[in-house]
Amino acid sequence: MISLGNTRFGPAGFPDTAKGKLSRVFEILDEVGLDALEYAAVYGLRLGKSRARQIGQLAKSHKILMSMHEAYYISLVSKDVQVRKRSKNRLVKALKYAPLMGVKRIVFHAGGYSGFGPEEAYQVVKDTLQEVWEKAGEQGSGTFLFPEVAGKLGAFGSVDELVQLCSEIDGTLPTIDWAHLYARSQGEISDKDSYLRVIGQFETALGKQFTDNLHFHVSGVNYTERGEKSHRPLGGDWGPDILPLMEIVSEVGYKPTFISETPSPVRGALYAKALYKELEKVKG
């Protein structure tokens, strides 16, 4: 993969105001000044190749960076072999469709531990992703799989797990969902030191490939002792505070893609972009 060259901001899913009109989706992003979009295949990749190509053409003409979030119900850790097989096939299909859609990043959750111990769960996930990559990696034409930090303590996707996974499996890089990590850590990820600690852990293990392809999810979050409960808007009375993260990005010169997963994703993306632009203005 290659560096994208600039910091980008965009919503998870199509803007509601597009009202199902595909061309209008990209016009809206242009109008408000957003340049990334995460296609929401969260209930499965339910589109034909013609529509996939149309999305890719529109994204290219509007200079929108595309990623894709695969189905919520993927479970690479299930004890049911058929569930694991179907989950693997969903990722294979996503890799095959990615070039048509201009997608370079396929985001997904590995699933809950399903009664496995952490070490056994890790091996199951690793083996399954290796099979996916061997079967369809080349068909992705440069697309990477981006396993996501999980928000629930009972789900596979801690920082340590993703550091190890992405170090050992070709074609994988992490999606850092800061709201999920805030919930999973019970509110500990909240200042510059904690943000830097997480970024540094990935950077030490994965190097330039990681820093050139940073993919962040941002939103507010409510959580319980079990982790993530619900996504909330940015800038409210809940965490995480993303200002320290934006300060790091501005000061260090990282160029991440920020995808807003707030209840109003376009508004959240614009909020994140406004914070970043203000810091860049002050920096001069």
Per-residue tokens: 45: 């990749």
| pLDDT mean values, one per 10 residues, the chain (284 residues) | 68 94 96 97 94 97 97 93 94 96 97 91 95 91 96 96 96 97 94 97 97 97 96 92 97 97 97 95 78
Question: Domain residues for 70?
Answer: 8-283
In a domain, 3, yes or no: no
In a domain, 276, yes or no: yes
Burial of residue 242 (number of CB atoms within 10 Å: 0-12, 13-18, 19+): buried
The pLDDT of residue 282:
84
For 257-279, the pLDDT digits (tens) are 999 999 999 999 999 999 999 99
In a domain, 131, yes or no: yes
The answer to whether 89 touches 95, Cβ cutoff 8 Å, is no
CATH of the domain at 249: 3.20.20.150
The pLDDT of residue 5:
56
**What gap in Å lies between CA 243 and CA 181, rounded to an integer?**
16
Per DSSP, 218 falls in state E
The number of folded domains in the chain is 1
Is the pTM value of this prediction over 0.85?
yes
What letter represents residue 253's amino acid? G
**What gap in Å lies between CA 231 and CA 72, rounded to an integer?**
15
What residues have CB less than 8 Å from 244, skipping those under 6 apart?
190, 191, 192, 195
Closest CA to 111 of 82, 150, 162, 143: 150
Measured in whole angstroms, the distance separating CA 75 from the mean position of its chain's CA atoms is: 17
H-type helices in 187-264, by residue range?
192-206, 208-211, 243-252
What letter represents residue 93's amino acid? K
Residue in this structure with the two tokens 């996939």, named with its chain if needed: 52
In a domain, 95, yes or no: yes
- Max Cα separation, the chain? 56
In a domain, 1, yes or no: no
What letter represents residue 83's amino acid? V
The pLDDT of residue 20:
82
H-type helices in 5-105, by residue range?
22-32, 49-62, 81-101
For 14-40, the pLDDT digits (tens) are 999 998 899 999 999 999 999 999 999
In a domain, 52, yes or no: yes
